[in-house]
Amino acid sequence: MRILTALAAATVVVAAFTTPAHAAGPLGEAGGTLALPLHDAVQVLAAAEESRAGYQRSSFRHWVDVDKDGCSTRNEVLLEEAFLAPEQTVPCRLTGGEWYSAYDNLYISSPSGLDIDHLVPLAEAWDSGASAWTPAEREAYANDLGDERSLIAVSARSNRSKADQDPAEWLPTYAPYHCQYLTDWVATKLRWQLTVDNAERDTLTNAVADCPNIPVEVTFAR
């Protein structure tokens, strides 16, 4: 299961964020950092209407070999998240191993039973601002190994149940994971400076009210 980790880089801790919560402007530049309590972090997310116009999954080139080591992004996540390491053969073929699917509290013992979920789905990212990005930015988003919250190995069944839905429409079936999921959702949207629509903001605001108000720390990707 993915957990929130402290960033090594210095963070800008914002006790009273002066930009209006519904502002559409950027929070910072790529490589910059932000740290806010969870409840405040939700309110910093810019609000905007969503549009699916022009979306194609192929607009996000994914599962590339970012570091040219022979392993695709999918396999990099599987290797990182396995609590029982799979056997690896050239060219990065994985067999065996064991993983925990936090969405539905299942243990899975084969890579074929897992999907790598974009925590904020590609279509949702498109709706929330990625439609205006360059192809290179969309590829970087789809293969984001720079923040462990962006991609997560889960059961194929749970991932396909989620599809492209946001938290206003879908939450993991395993209720004890809800707060972690919502926190990671907020962090990913902040990292990529993606917007939220009104229903999403309302759901996040209400849902995280019962969650620990822990710091959400991000490094901006763009």
Token pair in block for residue 92: 């990065």
Is 180 part of any domain? yes
Q: 180-189: string of b/e by CB count within 10 Å (b at 16+)?
A: bbbbbbbbbb
The domain in which residue 99 lies consists of 33-219
> With contact defined as beta carbons under 8 Å apart, do 78 and 101 qualify?
no
For residue 7, what pLDDT is reported?
A: 30
Domain assignment present for residue 190? The answer is: yes
Q: Flag whether 26 is in a domain.
A: no
b or e along 120-132 (b: 16 or more beta carbons within 10 Å of the residue's beta carbon)? bbbbbbbbbbbbe
Res 166: pLDDT: 98
What does each C-alpha distance from 35 to 39, 165, 203, 217 come to in angstroms? 12, 26, 21, 4
Length of the chain equals: 222
Q: Per-residue pLDDT averaged across 132-141, rounded?
A: 98
- pLDDT digits over 67-82, tens only? 999 999 999 999 999 9
The residues with which 196 forms a beta bridge, in sequence order, are 47
Specify the pLDDT at position 25: 56
Query: Considering the domain boundaries, does residue 23 fall inside one?
Result: no
Residue 162 placed within a domain:
yes
- Count of the separate structural domains present in the chain: 1
Whole-angstrom distance, CA of residue 55 vs CA of residue 123: 7
Rg (CA), the chain: 17
Inside any domain, residue 27: no
- Which of helix, strand or coil describes residue 158? helix
Question: pLDDT (tens digit, 9 = 90+) per residue, 172-188?
Answer: 999 999 999 999 999 99
Q: Which segment of 29-33, 36-40, 135-139, 203-207 scores lowest on mean pLDDT?
A: 29-33
Provide the pLDDT for residue 27.
Answer: 83
pTM given for the model: 0.88
24 occurs within a structural domain: no
Residue 3 is assigned to a structural domain of this protein? no
CA–CA separation, 16 and 193 (whole Å): 19
- Contacts of residue 100, defined as CB under 8 A and 6 or more positions apart, other chains included, come to 1, 81, 83, 106, 107, 108
